[in-house]
Amino acid sequence: MACRMEKRIFMLKIYFGDMADVIYNTSVYFKNRYRREWITDPNTVKMIRDVDSSKVLGNGAIDSPVLGVISPTELSGGVKTLILIDHISEKVFNASNCGDNCAKWLLKMGREKDITVNLRHIMDFGDEEFEIYIMNTEEIVRNMDELVRIAGRYV
């Protein structure tokens, strides 16, 4: 019997505006819940390098050009939120703690797995085409113009 393998389409899903049961203060949540092994995960190392311009020295030490050697809890709010989104899929996090420099990482994660985030502002996902599922209206948007017209109603 022939079995046709369907390619699974992953998606970044965003709920704009106030959302129940979201983790709002991601820095506090990260401080209490992060695991040391997350920090040396290759994807996390790349995120920290890109977003914070910092180098992971080990699971408890990061070399920051701003602060010197720091612990993971002293990373930027944006990169801590990205790490949480990447590692805890059953929770929804407030991605408005992330700057626009985190947008490409959200899109990348969304291409590799289903992720759901809450945004309370309009993040700039750039001028390239993308696919984002807007949960408020159950629509897929493919560029910033489409995104702004929907998201602006909720933020």
Partner 1 sequence: MSNTIVFIDEGNAFVKSTEFASEIKKTDNYYVIVTRESLEILPISVDEIYGIRSSKKYGVLAPVYHEFYHIYDVGRYEEYPIRPRRLIVEDTNSGYEFFAAVSPKIMCETAYGKSNIFNILSEKKIETHTLIVADGAAFGSQMNRIERFFKNNPFLHLYLPESFEWVLLKAGIIKGSKLSCL
How would you label 83-103 residue by residue, b for 16+ Cβ within 10 Å and e otherwise? bbbbbbeeebbbbbbbeeebb
In the complex, the smallest distance separating the C-beta of residue 55 from partner 1, rounded to whole angstroms, is: 15
Measured in whole angstroms, the distance separating CA 65 from the mean position of its chain's CA atoms is: 23
Nearer residue to partner 1 within complex by CB, 44 or 96: 96
Footprint of partner 1 on residues 131-150 (CB under 8 A)? 144-145, 148-149
Identify the residue among 36, 66, 112, 140 touching partner 1 (CB under 8 A): 66
Nearer residue to partner 1 within complex by CB, 107 or 114: 107
In the complex, the smallest distance separating the C-beta of residue 70 from partner 1, rounded to whole angstroms, is: 12
- Stretch binding partner 1 (CB under 8 A), from 2-10, 43-51, 59-67, 102-110: 59-67
Describe the crossing of helices 103-112 and 42-52 by its angle, rounded to 10 degrees: 160
